[in-house]
Amino acid sequence: MSKWINILQTDPIPRLLSPDDRALVYFVRRDLLGEKVEPIEELWKTPDTLKLVKKQQENGSWRYPGQRRDANTYTNYDLLETFRSLRVLVEMHGFNRDHPTIPKAASYAFSCQTEEGDIRGILGNQYIPYYHAAILELLVKAGYEDDARVDKGFEWLLSVRQDDGGWIIPMQAVPSKERTDEMWRGAPIPPDRSRPFSHLATGMVLRAFAAHPRYRQSEEARLAGEQLKTRFFKSDKYNDRKTPQYWLKFQYPFWWTDIITALDSLSWLGFSADDADIQKGLDWFISNQEESGLWPTGYGKGKRVEKEKAWVGLAIGRVLKRFYG
């Protein structure tokens, strides 16, 4: 039995192999058991995947469902929906640029990149370092790590860091009553670099750095990682997903910052289980495993939650295996 499984009260592998989910079983066998598996292209043919691919629009985006569209809408909901679709295709089915869907989606995402280098639109014309980085992460994982537009995106992220080495969402510093339609459409508000970092924003940004084989080795990524781990189980400095409970609300594919996404990134950045902050995070998984071998997601119960719980279990297993071998 692997060392990382030995530290747990219950082996999660039997539970992870039991769902009727071909993609999940594929990644469990490949990433947790180290078994030889079929080519990843086999996962591109599942009914759910084909259905999602069919919904892609001609310009490479996915249309956000039910959203009213007019000239006054300042949010690019299609960019948000494209991010959501890429999460499923790349993270749960291993799509890469060899599938024609991905180059089309990448072209659309890059069409939203400004001269400054950021992918913009989900918050009007305001800077979105967290969504920008989350989209970069998926593009890197899909095979665009050497693309000049990706480099431009990382350079932009490095240019808008806080003085403490982390990131914020600049609009978080603006009082809610001042966030008018005109402000969302207006010139982007630069970050006040003297403010403390947001662990919501910093955790999402670090996922892009962790995914990239070159940028994950940067001093800037290491410094941001040092900052992020000091915030485990604490409140954010800003109002979005502020309370400590959000560290324990898990999703897969990853979206917001939680203890799994943070540890996942830090494992790629070279942090060790010997670090006291890292150990605090790992101890939570050792102490809070359910009888089934999986972990609570913080989102209640139901068929959808149970399915996501299995994917969350895969993500936790990957983290534990990376830290404990």
| pLDDT tens digit sequence for 149-206 | 999 999 999 999 999 999 999 998 888 888 888 899 999 999 999 999 999 999 999 9
Provide mean pLDDT across the span 100-117: 98
Domains defined along the chain, listed by start: 1-38+288-325 (no CATH), 39-267 (1.50.10.20)
pLDDT at residue 302 is higher than 80: no
- The two three-digit tokens of residue 203, written as one number: 């955790």
- Evaluate whether 313 touches 293 at the Cβ level (below 8 Å): yes
pLDDT at residue 36 is higher than 60: yes
One-letter amino acid at 241 equals: R
DSSP state of 229: H
CA atoms in the 13 A half-sphere facing the CB of 233: 8
- The two three-digit tokens of residue 2, written as one number: 């692997």
pLDDT value at residue 156: 98
pLDDT at residue 69 is higher than 60: no
- Evaluate whether 125 touches 188 at the Cβ level (below 8 Å): yes
Q: What gap in Å lies between CA 171 and CA 120, rounded to an integer?
A: 13
pLDDT at residue 303 is higher than 80: no
Number of neighbours of residue 319 by Cβ within 10 angstroms: 23
pLDDT at residue 99 is higher than 70: yes
User: Could you give the 3-state DSSP secondary structure of residue 56?
Assistant: strand
| Predicted TM-score of the model (pTM) | 0.95
Main-chain phi, psi angles of 182, to 5 degrees: -65, -35
